[in-house]
């Protein structure tokens, strides 16, 4: 893996969080039962729950750094469109994003191999959020992980 910015391969010391730093709950990863090669938008301090071999934080900028393998993406909700575009371009992984009437979300809806709404009362480790969220997947193994999870119906 030759790249100018190296991903973190182990947890970093915790730093100050922002309003965009929300950890996906462990129960969701347990339900998916899949390992990721890279978490592209990890909160400071590393992924406490994400089963990923490597990760990027704000410091290593997952939008500008190379992506490889099966990615997990829970991007900053304050600036989703460029993350949607990068995820669609990569086409291998699962992302957790809010639903919206945006052009970016409509493109994700049209392009992904499978999508599943998350429970209306979905809570992150830091608490609930005000908007509904979905999981979108590219790759048959990721769509199958959505189905196996039985969290909700999968649209393919």
Domains defined for the chain, CATH in brackets? 26-155 (3.40.50)
Token pair for residue 80?
């989703």
CA–CA distance, 42 with 82 (Å, rounded to integer): 16
Question: Given this model, what pLDDT does residue 20 score?
Answer: 63
| Distance of alpha carbon 13 from the chain centroid | 21
CA–CA distance, 49 with 38 (Å, rounded to integer): 13
Question: Given this model, what pLDDT does residue 8 score?
Answer: 47
Question: Given this model, what pLDDT does residue 10 score?
Answer: 40
Helices (H), 11-71: 26-32
Mean pLDDT (10-residue bins), the chain, 156 residues: 44 46 86 97 85 93 97 93 97 95 94 95 73 95 98 94
């Amino acid at each position: 893996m030759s790249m100018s910015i190296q991903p973190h391969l182990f947890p970093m010391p915790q730093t100050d969080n922002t309003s965009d730093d929300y950890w996906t709950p462990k129960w969701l990863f347990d339900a998916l039962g899949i390992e990721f090669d890279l978490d592209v938008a990890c909160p400071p301090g590393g992924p406490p729950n994400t089963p990923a071999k490597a990760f990027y934080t704000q410091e290593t900028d997952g939008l500008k750094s190379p992506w490889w393998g099966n990615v997990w993406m829970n991007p900053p909700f304050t600036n989703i469109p460029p993350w949607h575009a990068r995820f669609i371009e990569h086409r291998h992984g699962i992302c957790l994003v809010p639903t919206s009437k945006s052009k970016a979300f409509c493109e994700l809806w049209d392009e992904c191999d499978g999508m599943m709404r998350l429970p209306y009362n979905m809570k992150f480790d830091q608490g609930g959020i005000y908007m509904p969220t979905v999981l979108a997947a590219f790759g048959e193994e990721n769509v199958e992980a959505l189905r196996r999870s039985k969290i909700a119906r999968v649209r393919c």
